[in-house]
Structure 1
Amino acid sequence: MRYDFAEFRSEANRKVNTKNWFRQLQDFGLKSNEPLVELYIYDFLSDKRNDTYPYYIKDLATNSYYESLQNRLQEQYPNAPFTQFYISEIATDNYSLTLNQTDVDFKWNRIIYFVLFASIILNLLLLLKLLKQKRNKKAISLSKLTKQEERILTLIHQDKTNKEIAAEIFVSLSTVKTHINNLYKKLDVQSREEIKALKH
């Protein structure tokens, strides 16, 4: 073990070696068929001062080894104080692991809800702003119309054809078409139906 850690000096190699030795020590304890050896190894691996502690915490969440060790200790040393101590240590670590996971989940939920709420509010504000700009633009566009264009707009709303409009305001058909094209440009529309949809 000392050789493995002395040979490589990089952080990545140290992490790989720590993880490998974590497994090797657990396997050695299992092969010994003595729960006290496993308990001693557990004490070393779960010590917060050691580099193995982060691996122990991850392993505790997924590995049934610790429950098996508890069962072996209870079978061979049911009334021993170290058995009770091990049981309480595992329970404490499991509780803190569950508590930390709940805190992380709770924090993420709060962040997600906040982002969702902020997004909805911003979208509503943007929608209101766009609607207001659209109304202002149409109001400004309508105020730019000449008297003749306003009359033609009114007649278009009454479903009059170009010929009927020309006859009613006493101008030529080409003049009506010119006024209608000007209306399209000023009101930023593409068709007669869009003009009819505008409130006058």
Structure 2
Amino acid sequence: MRNTIYLFILLLSACFNANGQENVSGYLHLENSENWEEKVNLSKVQLNGTANGYTYIPIASSSISKEGYFSFDQKWFDNKDQIYRIHVNPIKSISRRTGVAKNSKLFILSKKDSIYFEKGTSLFDSYTTNNKAHKEWQQLKKFESKFESLHDDFDTEKYLLRTKGYAKDSLQILLVKLISIKKLDDKKLLEKDIKENTAYYTSLLKELKSSEIDPALFLYLENKLSLVYKENTDEKYSISILLNGIACLIIIALVFLIFKRRRNSQNNNLVSLSKQENTIKELIISGKSNKEIANELFISINTVKTHISNIYSKLHISSRKELINK
């Protein structure tokens, strides 16, 4: 009977462990443990456009055993890859002291993966994981670390070129690509790169939207793209207004030149009339007939007609009425 009870207890324990599989577990190395809270906190991480680049959403906490052990089971994690953070808070009385050890760790995990922290020389120092996205993220960090010591000699163009080249050629997981882009945003380089490579980021955003990645993770990128689109549209509108204004000024100038040329042409035509032709022109305007003009100037009617024909030709008219109106 007693053996049966023990066997029943073991079966229950096995079932419990199967249902409560620990996705995150391990040990902490806490020097001066009295200075730290006795629990580990778990948060889901969202990327954003703020100064620190992350928003933390608390989801659970785990007590730390006397041996330093903690764990979180799979109920706290999503079926797809997400970014998470675990951290230990210092006690308030020492929270402002300098030199406090790094007390948090960011990692990528899904419900089907696990991460195990070994007891190292500092908090969350040594760990193993089977999550492919997190392993790729670690490779990205190693690549980015090459630029961390550049300081004043930091070449933004070279960094953009090499980082984007690495993201396109070496990174296979969309979530990690998104994290690499967030790094550009943290360095105030993302907007510049979007303006220079809008098609690339538009295509990437389309790919992100069709993936299983939580939209909250790439909302900052979508907002940044919208901002650049708006700036480009405003810039094109301003240029269009400027070009239209210049075109209007050119048209006005051309009209003025044409009017001036016609006026000069008319003046030239008037000047080109001979003295006799001007006299006949004035007599015509005063209402004289050809016969009256011939009698007054003591010339033949045919001569008057010849002069009138020359006047019409020079002034580009064909009748007395046009002459009077002109």
- Normalization by structure 1: what TM-score? 0.56
- 8 Å CA contact 2:293–2:304 kept in 1: the answer is yes
User: Are residues 167 and 94 of structure 1, via their aligned partners in 2, closer, same or farther at CA, if it must alter by over 3 Å?
Assistant: farther
Distance 1:133 1:113 in 2: 30
Q: 1:62 to 1:45 in 2, by over 3 A?
A: closer
Larger radius of gyration: 2
Corresponding residue of 1:43: 175
Distance in 2 of aligned mates of 1:155 and 1:62: 88
Which sections of structure 1, spanning at least 5 residues, go unmatched?
A: 1-32, 72-86
Identity %: 28
Residue aligned with 1:136, SS = helix
Q: 2:229 pairs with 79, 101, 105, which one?
A: 101
Which of 258, 269, 281 lines up with 1:130 in the alignment?
258
1:134-191 Cα offsets, whole Å, 9 max, x none, are: 222222221222222112222333455545544554433322221122223333x142
- Residue 65 (str. 1) matches residue 197 (str. 2): no
Change (3 A) 1:91 1:167: farther
Per chain length, whose mean CA-contact separation is higher, i.e. which structure has more relative contact order (CA < 8 Å, sep 6+)?
Answer: 2
Amino acid at match of 1:60: L
For the pair 1:191 / 2:318, whether they are aligned, the reply is: yes
Trace 1:3-22 onto structure 2 (pairs within 5 A): none
**Which residue of the partner structure matches residue 137 of structure 2?**
none
CA–CA distance in structure 2, aligned partners of residues 58 and 34 of structure 1: 26
Q: 1:94 to 1:141 in 2, by over 3 A?
A: same
Distance 2:79 2:200 in 1: 23
Q: 1:163 and 1:98, CA in 2 relative to 1: closer, same or farther beyond 3 A?
A: farther
- Give how far 1:57 is off: 2.5
Shift of 1:93: 0.9
- Once residues 312 and 296 of structure 2 are traced to their aligned partners in structure 1, the CA distance between those partners, rounded to angstroms, is 21
Conserved 8 A contact 1:45-1:56: no
Q: 1:159-178 residue pairs with structure 2 within 5 A?
A: 160=288, 162-163=290-291, 165-178=293-306
Q: 1:113 aligns with which of 223, 228, 241?
A: 241
Alignment RMSD (CA, Å) = 3.4
Secondary structure of 1:184's aligned partner: helix
Q: Cα gap change, 1:125/1:133 in structure 2, threshold over 3 Å: closer, same or farther?
A: same
For residues 292 and 268 of structure 2, the distance between their equivalents in structure 1, rounded to whole angstroms, comes to 28
Go from structure 1 to structure 2 and tell me whether the alpha carbon gap of 1:112 and 1:54 turns closer, same or farther (over 3 Å shift).
closer
Q: List gaps (5 residues or longer) in structure 2.
A: 1-77, 83-107, 109-132, 134-172, 185-197
One-letter code aligned to 2:214 = Q
Cα distance, 1:55 vs structure 2: 4.0
Matched AA of 2:226: T
TM-score, scaled to structure 2: 0.37
- Shift of the 116–60 alpha-carbon distance from structure 1 to 2, 3 Å rule, reads same
Structure 2 letter corresponding to 1:65: S
Distance 1:98 1:70 in 2: 19
Looking at secondary structure, tell me which structure has more helix per residue: 1
Deviations along 1:59-85, one digit per CA (max 9) or x if unpaired, are: 52698436x7426xxxxxxxxxxxxxx
Looking at structure 2, the residues matched to 151 and 143 of structure 1 have their Cα atoms a distance apart, in angstroms, of 13
